[in-house]
Structure 1
Amino acid sequence: MSAAEHQRPFGDRRILVVSTNYAPELTGIGPYATQLAEHWAASGTRTDVLTGMPHYPAWRVDERYRGAWRREEDRHGVRVHRRRHYVPHRQTALRRATFEASVLVHGMLAPPPGRPDAVVSQMPSLAGGVIAARLARRHRVPHIPVVQDLMGAAAAQSGIRGGDRAAAVAARVERYALRGAALVGVIHESFVEGVTTLGVDPGRIRVVPNWTHVASPSGDRATTRARLGWPEDTPVLLHSGNMGLKQGLDVLVALARLAPDIKVVLMGDGNQRHLLREQAAGLENVEFLPPAEAEDFTDVLAAADVLAVTQRASVLDMSVPSKLTSYFVSGRPVVASVAAEGGTADEVRRSGAGVLVAPEDPAALLTVVRTLASDRTAADTLGANGPRYVEQHLGRQGGLARFDALLTEALEGAGAAAPGTRAERAGDIQGGEGR
């Protein structure tokens, strides 16, 4: 390959990325869709994004976009096409279905103009997967969905009201979006079985893990704690990110009730935030913070003593929290109150940066937090494993290169995967360049 071809691996091709979440959203799937599209645009590829109005994790439309039906933007070389949709402040199966339907209808009625050479979709958005599949079929080009969450499994496992009925419908929609795809990317090998069950040939599944999309901490830890009002002699247990049903964050409120000497900080937003505030009423050791600004985010994480990732006991194979990649960067120990057989537990084990605790068990969680808070050496040893894991397995350059390989294979229409990329070799990927 010549130097020019290396700089422009896809030549003058046009790529359409369909993702309900995109910048300026700072957490969840949005940053990955954004960095992927900007990476392709920076290489000279004509890149369009079909997305919604920024709303995550607050589940409220960003005030800068309220009232707009459509918005066209140029962001760092990417042409962004925004379409209005319904945003539910609280999650039920019906409200979620209305959200997806509104995304689908407006996206199909007003797709970006022109013919793409490939369509990449970020799921769990069911509507995004259907839009991408239909546009790819219309233009007879490859569709490459990337499964970040399995919505059918999510509806069944997350505890959302009406979830059983929603799970069946979501699974049918996922099957439609995935079965005709040229290739299917999954961010963790634990998703392979679920995607295969939806009718996808395992030979068309590729493991493309997410990468760390935030910078390493740079501020002085003591200074950050003082600014936040966290006393140096008070252990701080911090959860950052979405406050939704599947997180089961009531376990942290229950821990705070058991341990008034430990400060529990919930930083972020989500549809369960108001309920958690009600549960924590009267607990002086529980603090709610808004999402941190990008330039301050990892400094706040690093200022905590222990970082928490929690999930309901029923959550097994439908989600691997994107917050883990940020947690590992911070250099602080992670306590994971999650099912031992799920993908989240797999990541914590691989990293060596945390401790697993049975889900929905505040007393067990408290025991581990107390141990780490009292043994700084053990906590620092665990925490130091996180940045090493990031350097070895979660680098942005390596993550984007895997997506380049995925897109290249789909565009070339290769009948067989390149060595080391087939789903059945996921273990090799995880031990090397993958997670």
Structure 2
Amino acid sequence: MRLLVVGINYTPELTGIGKYTGEMCAWLAGRGHDVRVITAPPHYPSWQIGEGYDGRGYRREQRDGVEIVRCPIYVPADPRGAKRIASGASFAVSAFPVAVREARRLRPDVVVGIAPSLMSAGPALAAAALSGARSWLHVQDFEVDAAFTLGVVKGRLAQSAALHVERALLRRFDAVSTISPRMVEGLMRKGVSPDRVRELRNWVDTDAVRPLDRMTGYRAELGLTREHVVALYSGSMAAKQGLEHLAPTARRMALARPELIFLLCGTGFMKPVLMDAMAGLPNVRFLDLQPLDRLPELLATADIHLLPQRSEIMDLVMPSKLPPMLASGRPVVAMAAERTQVAVEALGRGLVVPPGDEAAFSHALSRLAADADLRRRLGEEGRARALAHWSRDPLLLAFEEELSGLAEERWRS
């Protein structure tokens, strides 16, 4: 198949959408498909253009068998409100002529748009229309709902207009996928016909991420012993993660459970806020985002994984960090309301507490810190869940089959 992918985030970004889109495209190229990507320079989650890249010009490169065109983008230091919208719009404008050109050159069978940013949908639809290709939109989170729910963007008229545009775009694609059963239901509530909705979960390489000895190089580097119990958060540090609950919890645990160490690994505009709030606490360590080849070791350093979350965005997103957490064979402490997708996945593989309930969060951490056998049992259940539902190759094989079905429709038409 000939595939054209349009999305604002891509490898070598270490977390979030860019990581998954990069892995997806590399996997498809490895299966013999001709894959081309239109994207921006790496900039997430630090909101700074990656070293060796320029946000002002176009650039063509090859990576993992994939041909990539990097398009200019405006990257604000404070990615909220109008500046966040302007960033997505700048990519849509710069990517549009490239999408048109690549569609004419490649004559793709399927054009895949990745949202966020939903603004990638315009260039993707134009490329599909010009080349006669089928179109597929993959929705990693409901950015419009999340932006207004979290107050990143405000105003009823603006919200109504944005939801109208979102609904119109979603209904124009031949297939629309998203990453959890609850979010599939959300697509249908937004007017996408059920016969065009697909589920494509984010995945984990369960051969690479697996239960390993907890006495890793990270423990040696951080001066941590076998007696320390490590509670790890790793990933983007932004508004939707609910990270504001970690500082009060760490302060409480410093007295109640001094052996419990909070290891916070990542970047984002919330990181300096957290560092200020946790300054002087003896039970907190910070790391920058780590290289992907050290991810299995980092996850193995944990005795407990932390998954705080804002209650307002439950089932508008599905944390991409959850599958690797489960695959590592360590239990999760998750903030999630009953019957939300996070609660469904984490229950029985960790402890689930109500969103925002810092006392319950602290109690769950204390309980796991004190009970190594419970940590082991829950971790084993998480590993089994990852193998059954989150393994990379079965998920991507199913995606490939769906893409082939769309391509065949194009050939028959």
Q: Normalising by the residue count of structure 2, what TM-score does the alignment of the two structures yield?
A: 0.91
Matching residue within 361, 372, 392 for 1:396: 392
Aligned residue number for residue 202 of structure 1: 194
**CA–CA separation in structure 1 for the residues paired with 2:164 and 2:284:** 41
Matching residue within 235, 246, 250 for 2:244: 250
Q: Is the contact made by 1:336 and 1:348 (CA closer than 8 Å) also made in structure 2? A: yes
Alpha carbons of structure 1 residues 174 and 406: separation in structure 2 relative to 1, 3 Å: farther
Aligned residue number for residue 320 of structure 1: 318
**CA–CA separation in structure 1 for the residues paired with 2:71 and 2:205:** 25
Aligned residue number for residue 128 of structure 1: 120
Aligned residue number for residue 381 of structure 1: 377
- Letter of the structure 2 residue corresponding to residue 182 of structure 1: D
Alpha carbons of structure 1 residues 293 and 123: separation in structure 2 relative to 1, 3 Å: same
Alpha carbons of structure 1 residues 223 and 348: separation in structure 2 relative to 1, 3 Å: closer
* Deviation (angstroms), 1:398: 0.4
Alpha carbons of structure 1 residues 413 and 187: separation in structure 2 relative to 1, 3 Å: same
Q: Is the contact made by 1:338 and 1:345 (CA closer than 8 Å) also made in structure 2? A: yes
Q: Is the contact made by 2:216 and 2:300 (CA closer than 8 Å) also made in structure 1? A: no
Alpha carbons of structure 1 residues 158 and 347: separation in structure 2 relative to 1, 3 Å: farther
- Letter of the structure 2 residue corresponding to residue 326 of structure 1: P
Alpha carbons of structure 1 residues 120 and 371: separation in structure 2 relative to 1, 3 Å: same
Q: Is the contact made by 2:214 and 2:303 (CA closer than 8 Å) also made in structure 1? A: no
**Which blocks of at least 5 consecutive residues in structure 1 are unaligned?**
1-9, 415-435
Asked if 1:363 is matched to 2:356, the reply is no
Alpha carbons of structure 1 residues 167 and 348: separation in structure 2 relative to 1, 3 Å: farther
**CA–CA separation in structure 1 for the residues paired with 2:135 and 2:92:** 17
Q: Is the contact made by 1:192 and 1:205 (CA closer than 8 Å) also made in structure 2? A: yes
How many residues are aligned here?
400
Q: Is the contact made by 2:38 and 2:68 (CA closer than 8 Å) also made in structure 1? A: yes
**CA–CA separation in structure 2 for the residues paired with 1:198 and 1:364:** 34
Q: Is the contact made by 1:247 and 1:310 (CA closer than 8 Å) also made in structure 2? A: yes
Matching residue within 406, 413, 423 for 2:409: 413
Matches within 5 A, 1:307-346: 307-346=305-344
**CA–CA separation in structure 2 for the residues paired with 1:95 and 1:264:** 32
Q: Is the contact made by 1:155 and 1:164 (CA closer than 8 Å) also made in structure 2? A: no
Matches within 5 A, 1:79-98: 79-98=67-86
Aligned residue number for residue 215 of structure 2: 222
Please give the secondary structure, in 1, of the residue aligned with 2:407: helix
Asked if 1:18 is matched to 2:12, the reply is no
- Letter of the structure 1 residue corresponding to residue 351 of structure 2: V
Asked if 1:104 is matched to 2:98, the reply is no
Matching residue within 92, 98, 111 for 1:119: 111
Q: Is the contact made by 1:315 and 1:342 (CA closer than 8 Å) also made in structure 2? A: no
Aligned residue number for residue 192 of structure 1: 184
Q: Normalising by the residue count of structure 1, what TM-score does the alignment of the two structures yield?
A: 0.87
**CA–CA separation in structure 1 for the residues paired with 2:385 and 2:189:** 31
Please give the secondary structure, in 1, of the residue aligned with 2:136: strand
* Deviation (angstroms), 1:165: 6.0
Give the % identical residues: 37
Aligned residue number for residue 266 of structure 1: 264
**CA–CA separation in structure 1 for the residues paired with 2:319 and 2:200:** 15
Q: Is the contact made by 1:93 and 1:163 (CA closer than 8 Å) also made in structure 2? A: no
356-365 or 257-266: bigger deviation: 257-266
**CA–CA separation in structure 1 for the residues paired with 2:203 and 2:378:** 20
Asked if 1:293 is matched to 2:281, the reply is no
**CA–CA separation in structure 2 for the residues paired with 1:157 and 1:46:** 39
- Letter of the structure 2 residue corresponding to residue 19 of structure 1: G
324-333 or 131-140: bigger deviation: 131-140
Q: Is the contact made by 2:211 and 2:329 (CA closer than 8 Å) also made in structure 1? A: no
Q: Is the contact made by 1:243 and 1:273 (CA closer than 8 Å) also made in structure 2? A: yes
Alpha carbons of structure 1 residues 397 and 67: separation in structure 2 relative to 1, 3 Å: closer
* Deviation (angstroms), 1:43: 2.5
Please give the secondary structure, in 2, of the residue aligned with 1:412: helix
**CA–CA separation in structure 2 for the residues paired with 1:323 and 1:256:** 21
Asked if 1:155 is matched to 2:153, the reply is no
